[in-house]
Structure 1
Amino acid sequence: MKKYLATLSATALIGLAPYALAASSTDLSVTGKITPNACTLSLSGGGVIDIGKYSAADLDLHVNTVISTNPLQLTMACDGPTPFALRSIDNKHNTESTTGWFGLGLSNAGEKLGFVYLGIKQTLADGQAAQAIKSEDEGVSWSKGTNLNKTVLVSAGNPADLETPIMVKDLTMDLEVSTFIAPSKTLTLTDETILDASATIEVVYR
């Protein structure tokens, strides 16, 4: 009986050993780069657009109504030529009435009021004409861009090559900010309602 138990024990240990060794350690690798350059972003007018008051009676019942279109200029100044991208963050996320754009907040009844669209009209890179380009896969691939939104990265490319971001020291983007209100049939507007869009644009160093 004792001999049988010893043999069984040894067989069990040999069978388990390869699995125990395989799970006994794992590795963590942290990689990255520190760029010597820093970039500063700014928006004309401090990034504030006041569209004033708009009558609920002038809203379309069935489709989005554009109640305001305003010019806005974004500038980026870097210490030196820098590979970059711009990421847009919606500070009113989940209040946009159309997916992908920037929310306008909620009505007093908790309804999505509409959205803000940031179109890119013109791009200058170090004083030369450039083309805004976008990436929908975190910078793996690029194509022509026409707007800033929270689903893409935006950079600048040579008009003859829209698949490759260029390094930029000084960037200027002329934007057009359009404010849309959702169809009035989806909103309760019996009281004065505040429109409250807020977005953050940040530099991603690449």
Structure 2
Amino acid sequence: MQASRVPISAALLLAGVSNVMAASSVDLGVVGVITPSACTPILSNNGVVDYGKISLQEFPANEKELPDATLQLEVSCNGPMMMAVKITDNRPGTATSTNGGGDTSSFGLNLASNGQKIGRYQLKMANATADGQVGSLIESWEGSDTWLEANNAVWQPGFRRTVRDPSSAGLTPLTMTAFKVDVVVSTTLTRKQYLPSAEETKIDGSATLEVKYL
């Protein structure tokens, strides 16, 4: 709202410039809300999906798809909060795509010693609940106030997700104390000809989940 007042004030000053001298100062405000509540996120299996050792000789002619894995995400708050979980790719720019380029909707698995991208993984959410009640997922790009339906959609890097308030006519985040959801991990490795054949290659995907207060 502060930003919308600046041009209005300027217009009024210009309209009266013949009678009143223009102001030579402008105000700066620092605002926010300090809340006594806090939320803690926890991922099952310490947040690790471990595929073990995979033989390069077992790769098919094309990319190799690994079995889906599921982690459980729980966010517990010490009081009712409107919050969302944001995810950030810690290996940005290293996700492969089916045409050999990059994939901004997936997360990267880092680079092999020869500089080639190792593969990618995508995330989806399922079985979301808020305070024990089944919930509908919504998502928003960080910094945006526009929320979109997110059920069955890929959870992309930089997006934050939460549960929709069913009592609201629009897509509005729900105030809650507990959020639980399954995070399904789908991993795809690049073609074997792109990877070193004389040494082991470490699959090295990493992402950060952060609670954002709304």
Is the structural similarity TM-score above 0.5? yes
* C-alpha contact (below 8 Å) 1:61/1:183 kept by paired residues: yes
Write the deviation string for residues 155-205 of structure 1: whole angstroms up to 9, x where unpaired: 111468671111110110111111111233444444210001111100000
* Identity value in percent: 35
Kindly indicate whether residue 92 of structure 2 is the aligned counterpart of residue 93 of structure 1: yes
Q: Would you tell me which structure has more strand in proportion to its own residues?
A: 1
Which of 147, 152, 157 does residue 150 from structure 1 map onto?
Answer: 157
CA RMSD across the alignment: 2.3
- Equivalent AA in structure 1 for residue 51 of structure 2: I
Partner of 1:73: 72
Indicate how the Cα distance of structure 1 residues 96 and 22 shifts in structure 2: closer, same or farther if over 3 A, else same.
farther
Which of 136, 142, 164 does residue 141 from structure 2 map onto?
Answer: 136
Higher deviation after alignment, 157-166 or 64-73: 157-166
Aligned residues: 185
C-alpha distance in structure 2 between counterparts of 1:199 and 1:149, whole Å: 11
Q: Which runs of 5+ in 2 are unaligned?
A: 1-20, 97-102
* C-alpha contact (below 8 Å) 2:86/2:142 kept by paired residues: no
Partner of 1:6: none
C-alpha distance in structure 2 between counterparts of 1:56 and 1:22, whole Å: 73
* TM-score, with length taken from structure 1: 0.80
* C-alpha contact (below 8 Å) 1:69/1:177 kept by paired residues: yes
Indicate how the Cα distance of structure 1 residues 31 and 184 shifts in structure 2: closer, same or farther if over 3 A, else same.
same
Indicate how the Cα distance of structure 1 residues 66 and 55 shifts in structure 2: closer, same or farther if over 3 A, else same.
same
Partner of 2:54: 54
C-alpha distance in structure 1 between counterparts of 2:191 and 2:137, whole Å: 31
Kindly indicate whether residue 190 of structure 2 is the aligned counterpart of residue 182 of structure 1: yes
Q: How far does residue 86 in structure 1 lie from its aligned partner after superposition?
A: 1.0
* C-alpha contact (below 8 Å) 1:61/1:185 kept by paired residues: no
Q: How far does residue 137 in structure 1 lie from its aligned partner after superposition?
A: 6.1
The DSSP-based 3-state class of the residue aligned with 1:57 is helix
Partner of 1:42: 42
* C-alpha contact (below 8 Å) 2:105/2:154 kept by paired residues: no
Kindly indicate whether residue 122 of structure 2 is the aligned counterpart of residue 117 of structure 1: yes
Which of 105, 110, 113 does residue 105 from structure 1 map onto?
Answer: 110
C-alpha distance in structure 1 between counterparts of 2:117 and 2:140, whole Å: 28
Structure index of larger Rg = 1
* TM-score, with length taken from structure 2: 0.77
C-alpha distance in structure 2 between counterparts of 1:46 and 1:67, whole Å: 20
Kindly indicate whether residue 213 of structure 2 is the aligned counterpart of residue 205 of structure 1: yes
Partner of 1:126: 131
C-alpha distance in structure 1 between counterparts of 2:149 and 2:22, whole Å: 48
Q: How far does residue 53 in structure 1 lie from its aligned partner after superposition?
A: 1.3
